[in-house]
Amino acid sequence: MSRKFTIDASKKVQAARTPDHIYAAKGDEPENPKMDQFDDLQARVDDDFGYVMSGIERLGREGMLDEAINLLNSLADTLDSAISIIGDDFDTGINDSEEL
């Protein structure tokens, strides 16, 4: 009986971690028309973030520490702002599908 509970709990945890758009791809839920826009922007930000971090690291390695620190401060402020907005959305109970 303990094993069944573990398997059932594991499935529930995995289901909770599975994004809605994966269900939509399987046909279980209607796909949100904004998902393509979301996916494109997320990929762009991911690529740009990697480029920015590499550039900042290079600035530091080449001795341009003031520039690197200024960029890191700007980036940290922007990320703090985004984190605050995300936290506020979850605190107010906004549904992910309402925001996208």
pLDDT in tens, 27-36: 566 788 899 9
24 and 50 in one domain?
no
41 and 67 in one domain?
yes
CA distance 30 to 99: 16
36 and 10 in one domain?
no
Helix (H) or strand (E) run with residue 77 in it: helix 65-91
- What does pTM read for this prediction? 0.54
27 and 38 in one domain?
no
Domain total of the chain = 2
Domain holding 38, by residue range, is 32-100
Residue whose C-alpha is closest to residue 72's, from 84, 87, 58: 58
- Residues in contact with 5: Cβ distance below 8 Å, sequence separation at least 6, in sequence order: none
93 and 46 in one domain?
yes
Between 33-37, 59-63, 84-88, 89-93, the lowest mean confidence (pLDDT) is in 89-93
44 and 93 in one domain?
yes
CB 71 within 8 A of CB 54: no
97 and 50 in one domain?
yes
CA distance 85 to 82: 5
